[in-house]
Amino acid sequence: MSNSSDLHVDRVLRAASGVVPSSDTPDSLIHRSWHRCYHQHGLDPADCFDPCVESASRVRTSRERMEEYLQVARSGMEQLFKHVVDLGYVLLLTDAEGITIDYIGNDTWARDAQRFGLYLGANWQEHIAGTNGIGTCIQEQTALTCHSADHFYANNTGLSCSTTPLFHPDGRLMGVLDVSAQAQSDARESQHLALHLTRLYGRMIEDATFMRHFRDRWILRLATNWALVDVTGDMLLAFDADGVLLGASAAARQWLRALPPRRGADAVVGRHLMDLFDCTMDDIWRLARAPDAMERSLLSLVDQRSYFSSVIVPRVRAVGDGPLREAAEPAASVPVGAALRRLAGEDRKMRALQHQAQRLANRRINILIQGETGSGKEVFARALHESSERRHKPFVAVNCAAIPESLIESELFGYTAGTFTGARSRGMKGLIVQAHGGTLFLDEIGDMPLHLQTRLLRVLSEHEVLPLGAEQPVRVELTVVAASHRDLRQAIAAGTFREDLYYRLCGATLLLPSLRERQDLDYLIHLILEEEGREAGVPAAISDEAMALLRRCPWPGNIRQLRNALRYGLALCDEAGILTEHLPPEIGAGMPHAAPTLQAPPAAPMADRPAPPPAMAAARPPEAERLQALLHAHRWNITAVAAKTGQCRTTIYRQMKRFGIVSPVDAGNTPH
Ligand SMILES: Nc1ncnc2c1ncn2[C@@H]1O[C@H](COP(=O)(O)OP(=O)(O)OP(=O)(O)O)[C@@H](O)[C@H]1O
């Protein structure tokens, strides 16, 4: 062994035992590696290192497994090689096990490079090759230079290598990009440019792999510099149409570490964009169309900084046609469908909501509608369905508060023949499957029991339903519109609502204004009068005084209350139309001005479809008595009562709930 080799071995051994001479400039990362090689891997720096070359089939297996990564990396390497070829560098690409799976070399140096092990199949893992650019990069998971005497083995000190780790969008290490040359100078600084280029191209390869991997998903590119964000960014995030995170680039993963960890959950996947930014999916649609990067800033909830963004919309295959098309289409000029238009007159908030809903109608986004009870959430959901491409498909409404808890699972998910005995033994298609291709409206979603929330979450994320008793899941495609008058965020905090389900449901949130806030009360009065008058077969007129009285009312029960007041008036009035004395007494008397909030328990002063009562002061309205009698007469068979009254079963349950009517079955008694 030559004198210089002895000196190298001595230096490595001293550092590995913790003795670092003051003349040495310790690179803690390199010294850590020497320590590992000597103490953990049992390597001896005095030995002569022979490159370990894996079999051709091992290399082929690795290349086949990583085809996508390899293709992207190859293009990046070819570009990088143009910059470094004249400087005598060769390029290596390895897999995560440090095995060289691609190589671009320089003919003049090919022999020497081979001698050093710089070719296909060479295994550079640290426990085999000692401290080196690739193996140490895999251990440390960071870009580094292993220059000359940084190598563990003396016969590798003729090399200078700069490397960077390459991460898959799911956070796994894919491999290492290496730029190596014969060491010309003792100074590590001579490798700064090589390290910088390696890092730069490594990032490009990672980003390109990310873009390919998530080409059918939404991608958000973020940068602190607005001018470059459309070309290159600091971070990439991929998410689905509901705003649920699917992947993050290495830099974005690092950034997300500032968030509190989630017990048992991936640090990235499954989070929601609304956890990261002060925005909704609808804002993302808006950003996707904003041409000027200056308008595309997002406030981050991770570090309270503003980031400029560039939104890359998914390229999806349209059903039934081959070519790829852009998922997003210009939406600013989408005309609002008649059903949505009819819901409001000249009310600014409602106008904005109508446009927003129309834009969302055909994008497979789940929507959450919030608003006080009676503000028209179900009516809005129906109008949204009617204004969508799905209008010829089913609209299935489920009131989660109205279906008894014991039935909700089988009603929603269905069951196979033989799962139950008796009348239900034939099996039933659940409501979710009935909504296939159309819209499933889940009213009062906040009342859904927790274990069913878990099942529903699976349906939404996997598009499959497993009916009770079934072995094979049924595939379903549907858009879910959910509604709640409760503040679901509070329900999440209270532990009664699943946060991940909330995020699945609120691809966009629409908050309906209360009737008190609306500026189109006159429009609504005339609309409802016309509808009710037509149904009752009477002319729908109203006096100015009665109109004035209605305008002064604070409407704690919202549109439901307004409709009921007008029905009441129409029932009592004659051909001259509704006069003040025909309105319910509480309208004239003025109502309590306390506005119900989203958290308030449902305030339902009147039923949806009451028969005109002779007096409103009765403790229990006559329609409650009538419903009770009907239920009794039909032995509490809700389906039969629904058929008899021409209403759907959920309405019957809802009325029972409202009037406090409890079936003897639920109360634990046997019906008679
Ligand atoms: N835009 C509208 N035009 C006319 N009538 C409306 C409108 N919106 C709601 N209504 C009427 O108001 C009543 C309540 O509507 P809906 O059931 O949609 O409210 P909701 O917010 O879903 O109530 P809840 O929270 O109690 O389920 C219904 O009788 C409906 O016909």
Q: DSSP characters for 576-624?
A: TBB-GGGS-HHHHH----PPP-TTSPP--SS-SSPPPPS-S--SS-HHH
569, exposed or middle or buried, with CB in 10 Å at 0-12, 13-18, 19+?
A: buried
| Separation between Cα atoms, residue 590 and residue 569, nearest integer Å | 16
Pocket lined around ligand 1, Cβ cut-off 6 Å: 343, 371, 373-379, 443, 483, 485, 524, 527-528, 559-560, 563, 602, 608
46 C-alpha vs ligand 1 centroid, how far in Å?
84
Which residue's C-alpha comes closest to atom 13 of ligand 1? 560
| Average pLDDT score over residue span 171-196 | 86
| Average pLDDT score over residue span 101-109 | 79
Residues of the chain with CATH 3.30.450.40: 3-207
**Residue 599 neighbours by CB distance under 10 Å:** 10
Residues of the chain with CATH 3.40.50.300: 338-511
Q: Given this model, what pLDDT does residue 668 score?
A: 43
Which residue's C-alpha comes closest to atom 9 of ligand 1? 376
Which residue's C-alpha comes closest to atom 4 of ligand 1? 528
* Contact between 326 and 320 (Cβ < 8 Å): no
Domain at 3-207, CATH class: alpha beta
Which residue's C-alpha comes closest to atom 16 of ligand 1? 376
| Average pLDDT score over residue span 587-602 | 43
The larger pLDDT score, comparing residue 68 to residue 563, is at 563
Token pair recorded at residue 99? 């095995």
| Separation between Cα atoms, residue 198 and residue 570, nearest integer Å | 80
Given a cut of 60, whether residue 572 has pLDDT beyond it is yes
Which residue's C-alpha comes closest to atom 1 of ligand 1? 343
| Average pLDDT score over residue span 615-630 | 62
Cβ neighbours of residue 499 closer than 8 Å, sequence gap 6 or more: 492
| Average pLDDT score over residue span 242-254 | 87
| Separation between Cα atoms, residue 10 and residue 8, nearest integer Å | 5
pLDDT band of residue 118 (cuts 50, 70, 90) is confident
Atom of ligand 1 nearest to the CA of 608: 29
Q: Given this model, what pLDDT does residue 386 score?
A: 94
Q: Given this model, what pLDDT does residue 303 score?
A: 87
Q: Given this model, what pLDDT does residue 333 score?
A: 45
Pairing outcome for strands 439-443 and 479-484: parallel
Tell me which of 563, 648, 651, 654 to substitute to probe ligand 1's pocket, judged by most ligand atoms within 8 Å of the beta carbon: 563
| Average pLDDT score over residue span 414-439 | 81
Atom of ligand 1 nearest to the CA of 483: 22
pLDDT band of residue 624 (cuts 50, 70, 90) is confident
Q: Given this model, what pLDDT does residue 116 score?
A: 75
Angle at 141 (CA atoms; ends 229, 65), nearest 5 degrees: 85
Q: Given this model, what pLDDT does residue 318 score?
A: 32
User: Which of 131-140, 539-548, 596-605, 626-635 shows the highest mean pLDDT?
Assistant: 131-140
| Average pLDDT score over residue span 97-116 | 79
Which residue's C-alpha comes closest to atom 28 of ligand 1? 560
Q: Which of 479, 223, 505 is nearest to 363 (CA)?
A: 479
Q: Which of 515, 577, 508, 505 is nearest to 552 (CA)?
A: 515
The larger pLDDT score, comparing residue 198 to residue 364, is at 198
373 C-alpha vs ligand 1 centroid, how far in Å?
8
Which residue's C-alpha comes closest to atom 15 of ligand 1? 376
Q: Given this model, what pLDDT does residue 107 score?
A: 67
Token pair recorded at residue 604? 């339902």
529, exposed or middle or buried, with CB in 10 Å at 0-12, 13-18, 19+?
A: buried
Q: Which residue type, as a one-letter code, is found at position 550?
A: L
Q: Given this model, what pLDDT does residue 636 score?
A: 81
What letters, b where the CB count within 10 A reaches 16 and e where it falls short, cover 89-100? bbbbbbbbebbb
What percent of the chain lies above the pLDDT cut of 70?
85
pLDDT band of residue 91 (cuts 50, 70, 90) is very high
Q: Minimum mean pLDDT among 24-38, 257-271, 486-500: which range?
A: 257-271
Q: Given this model, what pLDDT does residue 173 score?
A: 94
Atom of ligand 1 nearest to the CA of 528: 4
Average pLDDT, rounded, for the chain: 82
Q: Which helix (H) or strand (E) holds 364?
A: none
pLDDT band of residue 304 (cuts 50, 70, 90) is confident
| Average pLDDT score over residue span 454-459 | 88
Q: Given this model, what pLDDT does residue 200 score?
A: 94
525 C-alpha vs ligand 1 centroid, how far in Å?
13
Sign of CA dihedral 446, 450, 456, 461: positive
What letters, b where the CB count within 10 A reaches 16 and e where it falls short, cover 56-71? eebbeebbeebeebbe
Q: Which of 84, 112, 117 is nearest to 98 (CA)?
A: 117
| Average pLDDT score over residue span 606-622 | 40
Given a cut of 70, whether residue 646 has pLDDT beyond it is no
465 C-alpha vs ligand 1 centroid, how far in Å?
30
| Separation between Cα atoms, residue 140 and residue 179, nearest integer Å | 17
| Separation between Cα atoms, residue 449 and residue 405, nearest integer Å | 7
pLDDT band of residue 621 (cuts 50, 70, 90) is low
Q: Given this model, what pLDDT does residue 34 score?
A: 92
pLDDT band of residue 120 (cuts 50, 70, 90) is confident
* Contact between 524 and 345 (Cβ < 8 Å): yes
Given a cut of 80, whether residue 357 has pLDDT beyond it is yes
Q: Given this model, what pLDDT does residue 593 score?
A: 38
**CATH superfamily to which 338-511 belongs:** P-loop containing nucleotide triphosphate hydrolases (3.40.50.300)
| Average pLDDT score over residue span 463-482 | 90
The larger pLDDT score, comparing residue 671 to residue 575, is at 575
Q: Given this model, what pLDDT does residue 175 score?
A: 95
Note the pLDDT tens digit of each residue in 135-183: 999 999 999 999 999 999 998 898 899 999 999 888 889 999 999 988 7
Which residue's C-alpha comes closest to atom 26 of ligand 1? 373
Tell me which of 484, 560, 568, 597 to substitute to probe ligand 1's pocket, judged by most ligand atoms within 8 Å of the beta carbon: 560
Given a cut of 60, whether residue 504 has pLDDT beyond it is yes
360 C-alpha vs ligand 1 centroid, how far in Å?
21
| Average pLDDT score over residue span 27-48 | 90
Atom of ligand 1 nearest to the CA of 378: 18
Q: Given this model, what pLDDT does residue 331 score?
A: 40
Which residue's C-alpha comes closest to atom 12 of ligand 1? 560
243 C-alpha vs ligand 1 centroid, how far in Å?
29
433 C-alpha vs ligand 1 centroid, how far in Å?
26
Give the length of the chain: 672
| Separation between Cα atoms, residue 410 and residue 413, nearest integer Å | 5
558 C-alpha vs ligand 1 centroid, how far in Å?
8
Q: Given this model, what pLDDT does residue 191 score?
A: 85
Angle at 305 (CA atoms; ends 304, 311), nearest 5 degrees: 115
| Average pLDDT score over residue span 354-373 | 88
328 C-alpha vs ligand 1 centroid, how far in Å?
31
| Separation between Cα atoms, residue 73 and residue 286, nearest integer Å | 33
Given a cut of 50, whether residue 611 has pLDDT beyond it is no
Given a cut of 80, whether residue 12 has pLDDT beyond it is yes
274 C-alpha vs ligand 1 centroid, how far in Å?
29
pLDDT band of residue 670 (cuts 50, 70, 90) is very low
Q: What is each CA distance from 439 to 78, 130, 412, 481, in whole angstroms?
A: 50, 61, 14, 7
What does residue 581 show for φ and ψ, rounded to 5 degrees?
-70, -10
Q: Minimum mean pLDDT among 5-14, 108-117, 169-178, 233-242: which range?
A: 108-117
Helices (H) and strands (E) in the chain, counts: 27, 21
Which residue's C-alpha comes closest to atom 7 of ligand 1? 376
